[in-house]
Amino acid sequence: MDAHIEDIARCEGQTVTLKGWLHNRRSSGKIHFLTLRDGTGFIQAVMSKQTVGEEAFTRADHLGQETSVVVQGVVRADTRAPGGYEIDVTSLEVVGESHDYPITPKEHGVDYLMDRRHLWIRTPRQHAILRVRHEIIDAVRDFFNGRGFILADTPIFTPAACEGTTTLFPVQYFEDTTAYLTQSGQLYNEANAMALGRVYCFGPTFRAEKSKTRRHLTEFWMVEPEMAYATLDDVMELGEALIVAIVERVLERRRTELETLERDVSRLEAVKAPFPRMSYDEAVEILKKEGLPFEWGGDFGGTDETVLSQRFDRPLLVHRFPSAIKAFYMKPDPARPELALGVDFLAPEGYGEVIGGGERLADLDLLLQRIKEHDLPQEAFEWYLDLRRYGTVPHAGFGMGIERTVAWICGLEHIRETVPYPRMLYRLYP
RNA sequence: UCCUCAGUAGCUCAAUGGCAGAGCAUCCGGCUGUUAACCGGAGGGUUGCUGGUUCGAGUCCAGCCUGAGGAGCCA
């Protein structure tokens, strides 16, 4: 009977077939300890000379790390085993040999591992992270699908800057046109919301910024919901519910992986609604009290975000920023027009902004004025302006960075481990 | 783009300006409960590149290359 390691507990006492790879091998003369992996988990297989015979035992003497093998054996509960179970091997078949595997059980440097990322992802830690990433993405989809949101993806090739602020990657589009890789689905999402009510897009986005920090990738995944007839308050509630749903889901289904990552799950268990909320004004007061050299009107730096978020055990919502530091499409606060109805979600433990969003500018004249102020080419935004010409409504939405969310939930030092093949400044291989 | 740090065996790292070293990996031998297994032995070097100082440079100086951490910007 074929079996997978992740549900080996259900096979206790039975003879099973595992198809996988040899992760590591130890031997003490008449007994081999083979750590196997099959993509679903890791388990130790015990091969004794007595059981399999001299010939088969000797053949297993020189199996290299990552040799692909099909192993038959009996599942046995064992308190000494990390997962609680072991396999007593009855037969072993080599599918593909492996010699001089580059990633040995000892430590390696980041550069070395990054050059071998295609092999690095086989290790227990990376395996656990990618499985948590999958669970987070699955939770995100279930969350929106279960609330009546329609997945309406936005283009990756775009004709011009969405926001005109950050740097874009140009690509040649046939003979004589330059296209740009999207940095946000935001504007198209608004059009989709006017067509479908509540929508979300979920895809890769690209930023050609020469950022060199543990929080940045040049290619990252973002989920962006957008709702017609919605306000800033709706966005804050939706984002809060989304994060709660993600954390609950990972705690429920990926305990084993969090354990592998040595994540302090009590920090995740504390993430429950309601999240603390404060205005930008209040945040500035706190930063000043903490003695940071921060002036009203500026944007938060990494240190500022960390100081603010470390005061709470769950994500912090900071809302109503100065319009000057926010995108042109943000709606001004009617009570104080110098403020924008935007919100940032700052993850706890210093992980920074995971969600950014707010209420959009629905008024045609004001939007035209903002486009002029930001020195943007109006003709490129005519389609976007149409959304205000033909039945404009209050609407709001946000973007959540998947990799930062994964980094936070897994408790990682660096965002580069949150995606199979990270793209960064100076990192395009493999 | 700016600031700081690093580059020595396949990997991770030592070496006061004075003989190029260790652990792991590999190969050989030993071991029936290992958990990054352990024990004994063997092989393994253009010290990132170019130039300079010096009797002598892995070590000091200059430039370059590659990478890491941080800043700015952002999710």
Tell me, what CATH number does A395's domain have? 3.30.930.10
Q: Residue A188: what pLDDT? A: 95
Specify whether A158 is located in the same domain as A242: yes
The nucleotide closest to A34 (CA, C1' atoms): B34
Looking at residue A301, what is its pLDDT? 82
Residues A30 and A87 in one domain: yes
CB atoms within 10 A of CB A262: 10
Q: Which nucleotide is at minimal CA–C1' distance from A344?
A: B75
pLDDT value at residue A265: 94
How many domains, in total, are found in chain A?
A: 2
Q: Same structural domain for residues A268 and A414?
A: yes
Q: Which domain, by its residues, includes A396? A: 118-418
Please indicate, yes or no, whether residues A32 and A127 belong to a single structural domain of this protein. Answer: no
If asked whether residues A183 and A74 sit together in one domain, one would say no
In a domain, A423, yes or no: no
Q: Within a domain: residue A403?
A: yes
Which nucleotide's C1' atom has the smallest distance to the CA of A79?
A: B33
- Round to whole Å and give the CA distance between A32 and A274: 53
| Structural domain contains residue A368 | yes
Q: What distances in angstroms separate CA A113 from CA A79, A109, A373, A419, one per listed residue?
A: 33, 6, 47, 14
> Does A209 lie in the same domain as A64?
no
Residue A387 shares a structural domain with residue A354:
yes
| Residue A204 located in a structural domain | yes
| ipTM, 2 dp | 0.86
Whether A112 is covered by a domain: the verdict is no
CA distance A46 to A92: 11
A18 and A131 inside one domain:
no
Residue A222 contacts strand B, CB under 7 A = yes
Distance CA A19, CA A41 (A): 12
Q: A270 with A316: CB under 8 angstroms?
A: no
Distance CA A225, CA A332 (A): 20
Does one domain contain both A311 and A375?
yes
- Cross-sheet strand order for the sheet of A395-401: A150-151, A198-206, A219-228, A395-401, A352-359, A339-347, A316-322, A277-279
The answer to whether residues A240 and A340 belong to one domain is: yes
Report pLDDT for A164: 52
pLDDT at residue A429 in the model: 81
In A 154-213, which Cβ lie closer than 7 Å to strand B?
165-166, 184, 207, 209-213
Residue that finishes a domain, picked among A96, A126, A146: A96
Residues A56, A204 share a domain: no
- The DSSP H or E segment spanning A120 is helix A117-120
Spacing of A112 CA from B51 C1' in Å: 30
Residues, chain A, total? 430
Residues of chain A whose pLDDT is less than 50? 165
What does the mean pLDDT of chain A come to?
91
| Per-residue pLDDT, A341 | 95
Per-residue pLDDT at A375: 81
Strand partners, A206: A219
Indicate the burial class of A418 (C-beta count within 10 angstroms; 0-12, 13-18, 19 or more): buried
**Helix (H/G/I), strand (E/B), else coil: A368:** helix
Q: Round and report the angstrom distance from CA (A127) to C1' (B67).
A: 25
**Strand B and chain A: which residues 67-86 have CB closer than 7 Å?**
78, 80-82, 86
